[in-house]
Each structure stands twice: as C-alpha cells, then as structure tokens.
Amino acid sequence: MRRTAAAAVAAVLLLPLTACANDAASSSHTGAAPAGPGVDGPKVKIMVGGLDKVIYLPAMLTQRLGFFAEAGVNVELMSEPAGVNATTALLAGDVQGAVGFYDHTIDLQAKGKNVESVVQFAQAPGEVEVVSAKQADAIRGAADFKGRKLGVTGIGSSTDFLTKYLAVKNGVAVSEFSPISVGAGQTFIAAMQQGSIDAGMTTDPTVATILDKKIGTVLYDMRTPEGSRAALGGLYPSSSLYMNTDWVNRNKDTNQRLANAFVKTLKWMSTHTPAEIAAKMPADYAQGGAEQYAEAIRATLPMFTTDGVMPSDGPGTVLAVLGAFHPDVKGKEGAIDLGRTYTTEFVNKAG
C-alpha cells in the first residue's frame, strides 16, 4: 500500500474526519483471503474500517457465504482499525471500494471530492452512547454532557459527529464538554473503567461487553430505526460500500456484481437468526464468547437494510446533523447535492 500517498491525502483532505464509525477493530484482519482462484471475474480490493465490527458485518459475511464468488467478482477484503484509513486508501487509489459510514460522502463533497454510496448496508448508526456505571445517576441525557469527558473513537470521527450533535440539540455547546479520543474495544472499556471518560459512544461487540461486565449503562441506543429517529430526528444511513464516482461510472458491470452479492447477503441476514449469522463469521470475532457475540448481532441487526437501498429521508438527516456543527458543512448545506452522494442504480437491479 502506498502509505506516503495515503498519508498526504489524509493530511490535506481528511483532517477533520478520523473514522467512518466507531469501534476500532479489536484485531486487525488486513489482507483477508480473496474470493479464490476459481473466480474468473474482475478483482476488487475493498478496505473496511474494522472487519470485526458488527456494523460492518455484511462485508465479511458476504465473503464467508460465497456470494462474491457466485456473483463472479474476486473480492479482497482488507481491514484498517480506523475508518479514516479506509477512506484515505480509497482516495489514494490503493483500493477500489471502502466500507464505512455514508457521512463521508457528504464531507468529501464539501471538500470537492465525488464519492458515492453504491450499496447502503444500514439505515441507522448502530451507535450507542454508554454512561459509566459510576456516573449513571448524574448523566441522564445529553443535557448533562456539560463539563463531562466523553469518549469517541477519534476527534472528527462519526462518533465525534454524533456526540456533538446530541449535545448541541440538547442545549450544550461543543465548547462545554471534552471529547476524548479513546479508540474502541479494550481501549474504550479501559478508559471507562479507569474514569478517563464519564460516557462515550461505541458499537457492538464493545457494547455487549460493557453491559455484560456491568461497566456502564445505555443512554442513547441508535442501533434501530426507532432509536435513530428519537435521537437524531430521522433515519441516519451509516455503513455502506462507497466508491469514487468516476470509478463507478467506468466499471458498471463490476459494480452490479458487487451489488448482487451484497444485496443477497442483506436478504440472507433478514431471514436467519443472530446465532446462525454468528456461526458463519470467523471464530475470533466472538471474543466475548459465542452467546455474547450472537447477542451483539441481535441488538444491532435492526440497523441493516434488507435491499441495500438508501432510505429516502436518510441523506437529509445526515446533512442536518453535519450542518449543526461541522466546519466544512455548516452554513453550506445548500451547496451540497445529496443526489450525488449515493446511487440506487445497481441495488435496484440486484436479484
């Protein structure tokens, strides 16, 4: 991978954007096995912002079910612990696709880059604001964020975006609390146990571990469409396969094959139990045990679409959230063309 080029792109374009989502992968699976030599179709490299995150589960599940091979596309899944690295690799040309949060497409358009969601995995963030058990009585809502240390994956990450929006929406200025970059997984859990953060935003399987160990309690649960509407005012499309628009336009057959595979996976997920889904995933993803991993999938499953289609009211919600505080978007919402941030061309044709 061209690290130098990627770093340069990150420095210039993505300074305020440090992660597609939340939990940094607790373990790296960079360079996961491609579909295999039996696939004669086009080869595509896809960088995922954490292959073992439940919010990005469709990526590895599609590989494990053999749907990439069935669709005639040879996919190499790669993983980086932070979503920003997935986006950076995409912009640097190291990979053809990235799996991360849809909000990157809006942020990048504001920076003059055309990137679009090709398959929309999720209609809700899959995020949970967890309060330390020690602070549960003092922090009962975002209005109590004032003066608090709030954990996020990284400054400028999607967890940071959503935390700031919840604060502003509930009357707390961004300057009145301290966002603390604590990563995810074990580093997030340790920060909460040690009192380095009073609350924080993360995803499964970290949430399941926190609840199982009684380290914290749930304040805002955005793993479901209902939770997204309650916290953010609407559906908030999150995890997706996004690509450079120019590449999409030049490789329509390949994109159709990818859409066919991913949509088949999303439909498969909607007709199988969490335990059945968990059984298809790599064993080391279930670090808290098989039952806990299945429970993490069960809690997060409602966030996923069944057809890969962008919810019609979703992009507007994301724009409103970013426009509330994001320096590159606030006051410039009218200049953002949401129609260029996603396409339904391929998922609509998927069988």
Q: Does residue 189 register a pLDDT over 80?
A: yes
**What is the spatial distance between Cα 265 and Cα 3, in angstroms, rounded to a whole number?**
32
Among 8-22, 61-75, 84-98, name the most confident range: 61-75
Mean pLDDT of 82-107: 89
Of 252, 275, 149, 137, the C-alpha closest to 200 is 149
Q: Please, are residues 127 and 189 in contact by the beta-carbon 8 Å criterion?
A: no
Mean of pLDDT values over 146-156:
91
Banded model confidence at residue 185, pLDDT cuts 50, 70, 90: confident
- 64-89 pLDDT, tens digit per residue, is 999 999 999 999 999 986 666 788 89
Tell whether 318 and 299 lie within a shared domain: yes
Asked whether residue 198 falls in the same domain as residue 248, the answer is no
- Which of 199, 232, 265 is the last residue before a domain boundary? 232
**Do 226 and 265 lie in a common domain?**
no
Residue 114 has pLDDT above 60, yes or no: yes
- Nearest residue to 161 (alpha-carbon basis) of 227, 208, 231: 231
Looking at 198, 232, 266, the residue that finishes a domain is: 232
pTM equals: 0.87
Query: What is the mean predicted confidence (pLDDT) over 219-229?
Result: 96
Are 179 and 80 part of one and the same domain?
A: no
For 302, residues 6+ apart whose C-beta sits below 8 A from its C-beta are 124, 223, 224, 225
| pLDDT, the chain, mean | 89
Examine the domain organization and report whether 60 and 160 are in the same domain: no
Is the same domain home to 110 and 241? yes
Point out the domain boundary residue: 201, 232, 263: 232
How many separate domains does the chain show?
Answer: 2
Report the percentage of the chain scoring pLDDT > 70: 88
- Does an H or E element contain 190, and which? helix 186-194
The yes-or-no verdict on residue 6 having pLDDT over 80 is no
For residue 175, give the CATH number of its domain. Answer: 3.40.190.10
pLDDT of residue 204: 93
State the Cα–Cα distance between residues 261 and 268, nearest whole angstrom: 11
Report d(CA 248, CA 4) in Å as an integer: 25
Look at residue 188 in the predicted model and tell me its pLDDT.
Answer: 95
8 A C-beta contact, residue 313 and residue 235? yes
**Is 51 in the same domain as 143?**
no
> Looking at the structure, do residues 246 and 110 belong to the same domain, yes or no?
yes
User: What percent of the chain is predicted at pLDDT more than 90?
Assistant: 78
What pLDDT score does 49 carry?
Answer: 85
Q: Is the pLDDT assigned to residue 154 strictly greater than 90?
A: no
Per-residue pLDDT reduced to its tens digit, 234-279: 999 999 999 999 999 999 999 999 999 999 999 999 999 999 999 9
**Do 71 and 89 share a domain, yes or no?**
yes
Q: Are residues 270 and 195 located together in one domain of the fold? A: no
Look at residue 15 and tell me whether its pLDDT is greater than 60. no
Residue 162 and residue 256 in one domain: no
The pLDDT value recorded for residue 315 is: 98
* Strand pairing category for 127-132 and 199-202: antiparallel
- Distance from the first to the final alpha carbon of the chain: 34
Identify whether the C-beta of residue 309 lies closer than 8 Å to the C-beta of residue 120.
Answer: yes
Residues 164 and 255 in one domain: no
**Domain, as residue range, for 257:** 3-124+237-349
- Answer yes or no: is pLDDT of 57 > 80: yes
209 Cβ contact partners less than 8 Å away, ≥ 6 residues apart: 189, 215, 288, 292
Question: What's the pLDDT score for residue 158?
Answer: 84
pLDDT of residue 2: 40
Q: How confident is the model at residue 34 (pLDDT cuts 50, 70, 90)?
A: very low
